[in-house]
Structure 1
């Protein structure tokens, strides 16, 4: 509030000085008509006071209390009254029609110019406030979505360990260690806006290795990387929900033989991320909707609004995800 008041005060003092300077410069050719420079200065000051009085009444009283409240007729009448007040301040006590007409025309012109500057400045300020609100909302939403990813991933991983422990698998301790490494990466990456694509793909590879141990021989998992990943950065934990979705609604939901194929192809700073997973013969389509998948769609729209395409195709025997994403290279 104090900063806004100070800025308003400085702007109006600056406007007063500017108008006074313009009046003195505009009347400099007529300075010989005045006995002294002091009287010439008083003449310019009188004009400036008349102009700024009308402008200030218009800006601080008439526009906020009448124009903005759509009381246009009353606003117009009061503005005419303010202009005549400005005329009176300048030509008093010598009232004549020529002086009134000239001064009125001049004040109408300067008031219109002042209104144009006022609405332009207000439009800029409103646009800036809107952008700041949108940025704040975006940051808050991204933080909320990122916080939801962590427990979602942990929940799925703990399910994997639980399944191995029920099988009394000798690999359970090793899987617990792998999970701790995955969680360490996740916690560290959650503090950053972007991570190296190389690290994110390694995280996915380790997660797939963990799931491969849990699913044993009933699921074939393939993972491939093609292209140069050096220097490319990506938002953390952005790709893993697609992988989790493929496992949860593919191999995890059936005892049938299944497959998951994940590929990452990098061409000229564009990531082409593809996942294909087989579908069980019998599956309720409503169960395919999950929190993680909805979150990643929203994050993509917020973080990469004009630099990604996402296609999710539910075919008869397989589920396909095709994501293309333009990434930044910090090298």
Structure 2
């Protein structure tokens, strides 16, 4: 039993070698494993020390066991498993593993060969080798699972960064269109709108560096954007923005809500010269954020395709950031376009 414990410790140390793969670490780890098994063998047999003539012969006995155990483990883990077992050469692996076990037996009982000694030592090494392999494969499986999760997490972070970078120029493009429209009208509010856009872009650039931002700041950003659009659209669009609940204690992924508002402007008021409406209602209750965006539709607007780059990106970001914590429902009718989004947000 004591050797089984030592073998398991060795397997854990061996996995460290598989991660770092440096010669220096390999040598140090295996020297440490050898000493650990030797110490455990000596401690396990200390009750029998009186049966030996000298302490030297007792230490030689422990050293013999350690060498035989470690020989089989090293051959199995460094040669047989990577070059045969992992390549599905199971028959050849089995024969050579038996050979390695008999080599370990020979090292231990040399020069006093006997069937009893061979049988006892073979059974002992088979048991310890099997225990070591079980620990080895369990540890390796856990390591591979951890590496897979880290790879998936890295891939998710790269994808989120890519989507975030796409949202930024998309928002800037729409905002510049608004300023262009005002400049063509020779509106006196154009300089003020340019300053508003400057503030919006400053927030956008700062928030792009963060994974999460204050929900209050994000809603203020949306409010300022709607004020900008209200000036551009003049009197032909009635915009309502309502917030219920306390937003300062919660955080949300940056630029996650603005695409829904942009789409309401682009495919609602911007798509027609007729009178239109945009209503944005936000409620926060018990760590649950509910956003309802609705805009009126006209014949020209209803013929356009609603799913643009912004909405595609935000839907993908929602799936990555809040995979089991959001519900998005879109209802496209003849007279209005409704977006209902519910998210479980963090404090």
Q: Is TM more than 0.5 here?
A: yes
Residue in structure 2 matched with residue 210 of structure 1 by the alignment: 228
Pair 1:170-2:188 in alignment:
yes
What are the within-5 Å matches in structure 2 for residues 1-331 of structure 1?
A: 3-5=20-22, 6-283=24-301, 287-329=305-347
Q: Superposition RMSD on alpha carbons, in Å?
A: 1.8
Instruction: Report the more deviating stretch, 89-98 or 123-132.
Output: 123-132
CA positional deviation for 1:25: 2.3
Q: Distance in 2 between matches of 1:206 and 1:161?
A: 14
Q: 1:10 to 1:123 in 2, by over 3 A?
A: farther
CA deviations on 1:222-266 (whole Å, 9 max, x unpaired) are 100011112211111111011111111122122232211101101
Which range is displaced more, 17-26 or 177-186? 17-26
CA distance in 2, matches of 1:9, 1:250: 70
| Number of residue pairs aligned between Structure 1 and Structure 2 | 329
Distance 1:3 1:272, change over 3 A: same
1:32-71 Cα deviation digits (max 9, x unpaired): 2211111111101101110110011000000000000011
- The answer to which of 316-325 and 21-30 deviates more is 21-30
Q: Distance in 2 between matches of 1:257 and 1:119?
A: 69
Whole-angstrom distance in 2 between the partners of 1:286 and 1:117: 61
TM-score by length of 2: 0.90
CA distance in 1 between counterparts of 2:239 and 2:96 reads 78
Which structure 1 segments of 5+ residues have no match? none
Q: Distance in 2 between matches of 1:134 and 1:286?
A: 37
Q: Distance in 2 between matches of 1:81 and 1:209?
A: 81
Q: TM-score, normalised by structure 1?
A: 0.94
Deviation at 1:72, TM superposition (A): 0.7
List alignment gaps of at least 5 residues for structure 2. 1-17
Tell me the distance in 2 between the aligned counterparts of 1:299 and 1:255: 33
